[in-house]
């Protein structure tokens, strides 16, 4: 085996281990979070149960807010989990005694668990990192491992790789598409252009027309800035456009035929209205995505700022030939980084996941900035980077107390977390200052990232469950009744509603909407509202069961 093959094998093994920990380890350590995760996971379950690959449904009704790529991936994940579960049961690997003594994971009976719901995004993130590694190895050899690890260790990539949502499928397909386009731009081979169109079509199946729209803006701006407008016409390759239509259009046509309201709802309301109005109640100031984006790049934020400050004047150098030949890659990455941030900053509706497609470009910009091994790293940058890494560790270790108390509580654990963070930060600062170059940055930073992710999985999971997931509520309800009983809600937010419907695999009913079950049922109500909902029940008997202080909820049994 040659030295090159040995190095490549070692790099691949390192990437597999690192991505396996960051993206896959502890996927089920806490329940599905927020309203979107359980809702998307439940939609995929209903599509699989009904063997319907066309119309997404929630509680049996069409749910046409998002295209189906995540749902299809989750359906395959659920189906695979069911096959393994069936094989295990048939083989008798688990004894009856063990099944009775060990609590069964919520949803495990039908293969639908937190792990199987989140697995598609973890796989997409791994494919994203693999694509970056292969691209850099082919076109910028020597920086492939740095680029892959820097991208994988960004806070935004790690967070969305562990979420059952549509953001990572879009980011992965969009990144692969743009890397393929740039490969074509440098070499003009038709195969990369075909890959560009195919993955752009998958991006459209992941989150709609935003994928081709953003790609078109980035390519056009790059062509203008690079003084190569001819590449715009060359990109419009008819076989590639046909491939895009073949991959993307069949589902859109099929779902429109089955659901005549699809075009109006998805295109007009979910895309145009979401962008231009506050109809979905996600208002944020214009500058919202600037801090969000900088946090998503943690712990590499300071190097992104340094790279942008250095590269911006260079790519628009007066030396036309130099700008077109030596600096096109930097120019492409800068445009790719800024376009999604600026584009979604103009939207009236803003959510953090919108700018995830820009994170890989920013990570590659950092990679390019640090690729010069002879670069002298200023002490200021080393100190700021060390502080950011220490802050990341401190935030991860302090997360349980902050989430439960909604503030930083000065207890013994806080001081221990601060001590660990200070040691980590100082160690990184000393290493970088002593080395005075970029050689140790990646290795030193990985330590902080691994410690932070391990702390969240090991220590913060119960607090995340208690405050952000409906799983503890479901476990409390099941402690009172193992049999399925109707569940009604009163003044309960969407997180609990969609979480309950996912974990119980059935709809809930809402007192707020006049849906009061005539039969005996369990009521989940906001704390302090007993006198309010009693007036709606007439003389029906109401028995208090328990409360969940972390969620400010109370459980009641309502008789016939």
Query: CA-CA distances (angstroms) from residue 260 to 14, 94, 254, 324, 496?
Result: 50, 48, 10, 49, 31
Residues pairing with 547 in the sheet: 554
Residues pairing with 555 in the sheet: 524, 546
Neighbours of 370 (CB within 10 A): 23
* Residue 57 φ/ψ, nearest 5 degrees: -135, 150
According to the model, what pLDDT value does residue 93 have? 47
Confidence of residue 281 (pLDDT cuts 50, 70, 90): very low
CB-CB contact of 23 with 158 (8 Å): yes
CB-neighbour burial class of residue 122 (10 A; exposed 0-12, middle 13-18, buried 19+) = buried
Strands (E), 309-362: none
Assigned token pair, 458: 């090991």
According to the model, what pLDDT value does residue 58 have? 93
* DSSP label at residue 483: S
Q: Chain centroid to CA 155: how far?
A: 10
pLDDT digit string, tens, across residues 417-441: 889 889 988 988 888 887 766 778 8
Mean pLDDT taken over the chain: 87
pLDDT digit string, tens, across residues 497-524: 999 999 999 999 999 888 898 999 999 9
The residue length of the chain stands at 560
CB-neighbour burial class of residue 110 (10 A; exposed 0-12, middle 13-18, buried 19+) = middle
For residues 415-441, one letter each, b for 16 or more C-beta atoms within 10 angstroms of the residue's C-beta and e for the rest, the string is: eebbebbeebbebbbebbeeeeebbbb
Q: Residue for token digits 């697995």?
A: 119
According to the model, what pLDDT value does residue 317 have? 63
Helix%, strand%, coil% for the chain, nearest 5: 70, 5, 25
According to the model, what pLDDT value does residue 94 have? 44
The pairing of beta strand 509-510 with beta strand 57-58: unpaired
Distance CA 339, CA 220 (A): 11
According to the model, what pLDDT value does residue 550 have? 83
* DSSP label at residue 33: B
Confidence of residue 405 (pLDDT cuts 50, 70, 90): low
Confidence of residue 332 (pLDDT cuts 50, 70, 90): very high
Please tell me the least confidently modeled range out of 212-221, 267-276, 426-435.
267-276
- Give me the mean pLDDT over the 95-123 stretch: 67
According to the model, what pLDDT value does residue 415 have? 85
Please name which of 439, 427, 418 lies closest in space to residue 385, comparing C-alpha atoms: 427
According to the model, what pLDDT value does residue 74 have? 97
């Amino acid at each position: 085996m040659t030295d090159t093959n040995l190095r490549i094998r070692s790099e691949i093994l390192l990437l597999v281990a690192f991505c396996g920990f960051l993206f896959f380890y502890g996927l089920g350590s806490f329940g599905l979070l927020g309203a979107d995760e359980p809702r998307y996971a439940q939609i995929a379950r209903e599509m699989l149960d009904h063997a319907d690959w066309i119309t997404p449904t929630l509680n049996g009704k069409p749910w046409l807010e998002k295209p189906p790529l995540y749902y299809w991936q989750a359906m395959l994940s659920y189906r695979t989990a069911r096959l393994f579960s069936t094989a295990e049961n048939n083989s008798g690997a688990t004894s009856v005694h063990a099944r009775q003594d060990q609590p069964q994971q919520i949803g495990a009976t039908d293969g639908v668990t937190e792990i199987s719901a989140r697995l598609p995004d973890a796989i997409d993130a791994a494919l994203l990192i693999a694509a970056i590694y292969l691209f850099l190895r082919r076109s910028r050899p020597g920086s492939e491992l740095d680029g892959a690890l820097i991208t994988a260790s960004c806070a935004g990539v790690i967070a969305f790789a562990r979420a059952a949502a549509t953001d990572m499928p879009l980011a992965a397909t969009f990144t692969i598409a743009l890397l393929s386009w740039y490969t074509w731009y440098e070499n003009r081979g038709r195969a990369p252009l075909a890959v560009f169109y195919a993955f752009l079509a998958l991006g459209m199946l992941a989150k709609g027309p935003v994928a081709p729209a953003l790609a078109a803006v980035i390519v056009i701006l790059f062509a203008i800035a690079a003084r190569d407008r001819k590449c715009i016409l060359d990109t419009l390759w008819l076989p590639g456009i046909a491939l895009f239509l073949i991959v993307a259009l069949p589902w859109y046509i099929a779902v429109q035929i089955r659901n005549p309201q699809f075009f109006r709802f998805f295109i007009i309301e979910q895309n145009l209205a979401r962008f231009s109005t506050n109809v979905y109640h996600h208002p944020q100031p214009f500058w919202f995505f600037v801090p969000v984006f900088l946090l998503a790049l943690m712990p590499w934020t300071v190097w992104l700022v340094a790279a942008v400050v250095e590269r911006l004047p260079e790519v628009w150098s007066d030396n036309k030939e130099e700008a077109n030949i030596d600096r096109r890659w930097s120019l492409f990455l800068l445009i790719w980084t800024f376009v999604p941030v600026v584009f979604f900053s103009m939207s009236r509706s803003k959510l953090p996941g919108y700018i995830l497609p820009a994170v890989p470009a920013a990570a590659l910009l950092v990679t390019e900035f640090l690729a010069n091994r002879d670069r002298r790293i200023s002490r200021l940058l080393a100190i700021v980077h060390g502080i950011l890494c220490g802050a990341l560790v401190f935030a991860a270790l302090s997360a349980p107390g902050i989430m439960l108390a909604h503030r930083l509580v000065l207890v013994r654990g806080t001081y221990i977390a601060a001590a660990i963070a200070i040691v980590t930060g100082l160690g990184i600062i000393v290493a970088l200052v002593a080395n005075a170059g970029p050689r140790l940055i990646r290795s030193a930073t990985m330590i902080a990232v691994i410690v932070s992710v391990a702390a969240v999985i090991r220590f913060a999971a119960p607090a995340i469950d208690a405050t952000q997931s409906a799983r503890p509520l479901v476990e409390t309800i099941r402690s009172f009744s193992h049999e399925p009983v109707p569940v009604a809600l009163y003044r309960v937010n969407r997180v609990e509603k969609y979480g309950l419907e996912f974990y119980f695999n059935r709809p809930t009913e809402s007192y707020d909407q006049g849906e009061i079950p005539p039969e005996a049922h369990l009521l989940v109500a906001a704390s302090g509202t007993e006198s309010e909902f009693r007036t709606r029940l007439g003389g029906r008997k109401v028995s208090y069961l328990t409360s969940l202080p972390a969620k400010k909820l109370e459980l009641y049994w309502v008789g016939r």
